Every structure is written in structure tokens, then in C-alpha cells.
Structure 1
Amino acid sequence: MSQQVPALPDLPEATVARLPEYLRALHHLAESGNDTVSSEALAGAAGVNSAKLRKDLSHLGSYGTRGVGYDVALLIDQIEYVLGLTQRRAVALVGVGNLGHALAGYAGFGSRGFRIAALFDADPGRVGEHINGLVVRHIDELPEIAEAESIAIGVIATPATAAQSVADRLVAAGVTSILNFAPCVLSVPDGVDVRKVDLAIELQILSFHEHRKASLIALPAAGGLTALPGGLAATGTEEAVGS
């Protein structure tokens, strides 16, 4: 029995954050020749529990079929529709240093529903450079190119000192969604969405987990207490009060 793609639902943010993981897993299943998938198998491929997955997909009006599971192709269509990936969205990338250069050359965006439509930099030494079939333009050309290419998404890969200025330029050019790789917090008007990717923060979070694992291993020899700065002590098994 076929299912119709529902009207665009108002999804919880946590569900929206998991949909790309489901989509990645579904594309892999489709490429492997799978027409259907159980909720348990899809949840395992996406790294979530099956109850959470079923609840997320129910928001899309997709409940699967008992004994069969989910139709892989249909579920791909539903998720891509909800995520707005039925059109290849044009993206502007500002800053073509080491990180920006790598992002500009990444071939995976095309298969995920995006195309890097324009590259910008303020450094005259980089303007005119060819990267992955695109010519780096000067940032001053942003307004007219953003209009010509119908760009609504911008990626900032500049140093932190330039990021706010770049964000202001993107917003002025009509960009309403920004992915920020610069290690800073941006101030943008209401109606502009910002996602921040800070690799150092992710490493610091992993460092916490490494530190915690090491302290737990050392607990017996330390008498069950771990000294903290400021004269505090923690047992290593309870959350710090006031955090």
C-alpha cells in the first residue's frame, strides 16, 4: 500500500537532527540493493534505538508495515522532502584558506542535496583561484552573485576576527541560513538560522571523556576521591553540583 508524502510537519529539533543520519543509512541500504528495512536494522545503522526511530518517523506519517518494515525508496523520498532536499540548494562559501579549500573540493555535497555555487575571499592573492570548477570571487561581489544564484545558505570558513563581518554581508545579501566554522558566536537578526561547527570544542568534549575514563580507572588507588581545582573533591560517580 503506497503512502503519500505528508504536508511539511513541525518537527522537534532533536528529530530534525536525526533525520540526516536516517537518510545516510537509507541511501547505503538502497545502494546495497535493499528494498525494505526493519526499524531495528535502520536504527542500528543510524546509531539510535528503534523506539526513538519509530517515533521520529511517525512524525513524517511513516509507520512501516508489520512483518515487512519500511519501504527504503519511499522513506528516502519522505525524508528528503521534509529536509528540503528535492532541489539542489545553492551554497556560498566564504573563506578559502585550508579549511575552506577542503570544503570547496568535497564531492559529497552534491549527493546530499547541495551545490557549492560560489566561492568568496577578501584576500586578493586568492581571488581568481580555481577550485573544483569554480573561480574564487572577491567578497565585494557577494550581493549580485547571491541574487543571480538564488543563494540562501552561506558557509563561513574565515578566521574568527572576520566571521561577524562576513555574517553581516551574507545577511545583507539575502542569506537566511549560515553554517559557521569560525570559533566564535555570531550575532544575526531574527529569521536567520546559524549552525556552529567548532572542531576544537568537539575535541575538548572528547578530552573530558578521556579524562573521566582515566580518573575512574585510578579511583581505587586514589581512595575514591578526585581532587579538583579550588579545593573541591568529586567521587567520579556523581555529577558536579551547580554545573
Structure 2
Amino acid sequence: MATGRTHRPATRSRGIPEATVARLPLYLRALTALSERSVPTVSSEELAAAAGVNSAKLRKDFSYLGSYGTRGVGYDVEYLVYQISRELGLTQDWPVVIVGIGNLGAALANYGGFASRGFRVAALIDADPALTGKPVAGIPVQHTDDLEKIIQDNGVSIGVIATPAGAAQQVCDRLVAAGVTSILNFAPTVLSVPDGVDVRKVDLSIELQILAFHEQRKAGEEAAAEAAAVPAAATRGDSADQGPDGDVPAVMPA
């Protein structure tokens, strides 16, 4: 979610809605898996199920790309991979810097999916002098004093912030001043950026809290269902003890 910035129109320059843009990576992930299994074509229903959306929404999304598939055949997997990759700007390598090489930053640096998805970790940056020069995922950590030079030397336009909350805004300001125009923020705080800079926030605690809400709701529904079942069972038990006219039958002598 974008935060701390003036709202801009919810469309891209080619008229693709932001909601569709947000689903394109889901389609690309599903298509890449099919491509790796050498599946040549896929129906809208199969691809929608793999991406977790309904097929009508998928067909509408693909219409923005000018891709309509072939009736009775479906969509060409390799062509769709190319189309979506091109639309997302993944036909080139994007240099990325990660600022904040604590546990989370180091885990991100070690993530092997960047290269296969069009991204290259150009530099790892941290304020701790003890980390300077130490390799993480084969890349030596550089000090934040050199942040601006690192950005300029590597032509970086995408920055990842994995610092503590208190340092995130200052790091963000320096990244933006150095020319970074897109930021992925893992710090648990809202960043303020000028218009023209895009921020995506990843907050694991918020996602867990949302899951906790759903778990609580499900537990409440189960408790309510069990409570409703008790009177019904009791009523059935009372009627079973009654005679045909509703009277309690007399005890038969032994």
C-alpha cells in the first residue's frame, strides 16, 4: 500500500488500473510455474485458479494488455510471460539497494528470487561500522556515509528500507534526494515522500493481526454454532421421553 503521499490517479500511463497492475505479478508467478513444466497453453479458468482470482476478472485484466486468448485453446503461456514481464518492466535488470542489514535485511539479501524476477542487489548498506566490509550473500556491506555515491554509481532507482522505525524516514529522505523514486518499506512506520515517489509498505505484524481477526471470528462462529446445537438436542431429548400425546409414559411394572 502506498503511504504518506498525495493520491494520484489510479491508472498507469497506458490506462491499466492499479488493481490490475497489482494482480499481474500473481499471473506471472503462475505462468512461470507452468512454463517451467513446459505447459504450452492454459485456459483462463486454470490460470485464474492458479493465481487465486476469478476467470472473468482475469480475462478483463488481460484485455488491458491486448491479449484475448484463442477460443478452445486458451492463452499461450510463453507469450503471456513475455507480455506481462514487459508490462511490469522486467525485461531489464533493476539495480536495488537494501538499507539496514539486520536479521531482516540479511534475509532479503539472501533471497534467491531477485535475479530470476528482474532485480539485482547492487549494494547492501548499514550504519553499523562493525558491519562495513563484511560479506552478506557474497556482497560486502557498505556504510551509510556512502549512500548517495552508491546510488549514483549504480544508477539505482529502487531502494529497500529494512531499518528500525526511528531511522527509516531519514534513510528515505536521503534515498529520495539521491535519485531513488521507488521504495519498498519494511520498517514499521509510515514514510512521507514527495509526489512522484512510490512507496510500497510491507508490515508483517499488520498481516498477522488481520489473520488473528479472522481466527477470532471463526472461533466465535464455531462457539455460536455449538451453543445453538445444545438447545436443539435438549428439545429432541425431551420429546423422545414423551408419549404419543405428549404425556410422560407410565412406568411399566417389572
Q: CA offset at residue 221 of structure 1?
A: 6.1
- CA separation in 2, counterparts of 1:147 and 1:74? 35
Q: CA offset at residue 145 of structure 1?
A: 1.3
Which deviates further from its counterpart, 206-215 or 143-152? 143-152
RCO (CA 8 Å, sep 6+): is it higher in 1 or 2?
2
Computing the radius of gyration from Cα coordinates, the structure with the larger value is 2
Closer/same/farther in 2, CA of residues 40 and 220 from structure 1, 3 Å limit: closer
Alpha-carbon displacement from aligned partner over 1:106-164 (angstroms, at most 9, x marks no partner): 11111111011111000111111101221110111111111111100000000001100
| Long gaps (5+) in structure 1 | 1-7, 224-243
Q: CA offset at residue 219 of structure 1?
A: 1.8
Q: CA offset at residue 179 of structure 1?
A: 0.2
TM-score by length of 2: 0.83
- CA separation in 2, counterparts of 1:43 and 1:140? 47
- CA separation in 2, counterparts of 1:47 and 1:220? 29
Alpha-carbon displacement from aligned partner over 1:25-79 (angstroms, at most 9, x marks no partner): 1010011011111101111111111000000011000000001100111111110
Count of equivalent residues:
218
- Residue in 2 that maps onto 1:3: none
Identity %: 68
| Long gaps (5+) in structure 2 | 1-12, 229-254
1:124 pairs with one of 129, 135, 139: 129
Q: CA offset at residue 171 of structure 1?
A: 0.4
Q: CA offset at residue 10 of structure 1?
A: 2.4
- CA separation in 2, counterparts of 1:148 and 1:85? 21
- Residue in 2 that maps onto 1:90: 95
- Residue in 1 that maps onto 2:154: 149
- Residue in 2 that maps onto 1:22: 27
TM-score by length of 1: 0.87
> Per the alignment, in what secondary structure is the counterpart of residue 219 of structure 1?
helix
Q: CA offset at residue 220 of structure 1?
A: 4.7
Matched, 1:140 2:145: yes
> Per the alignment, in what secondary structure is the counterpart of residue 199 of structure 2?
strand
Q: CA offset at residue 174 of structure 1?
A: 0.3
2:185 pairs with one of 180, 187, 192: 180
- CA separation in 2, counterparts of 1:144 and 1:104? 20
- CA separation in 2, counterparts of 1:222 and 1:164? 50
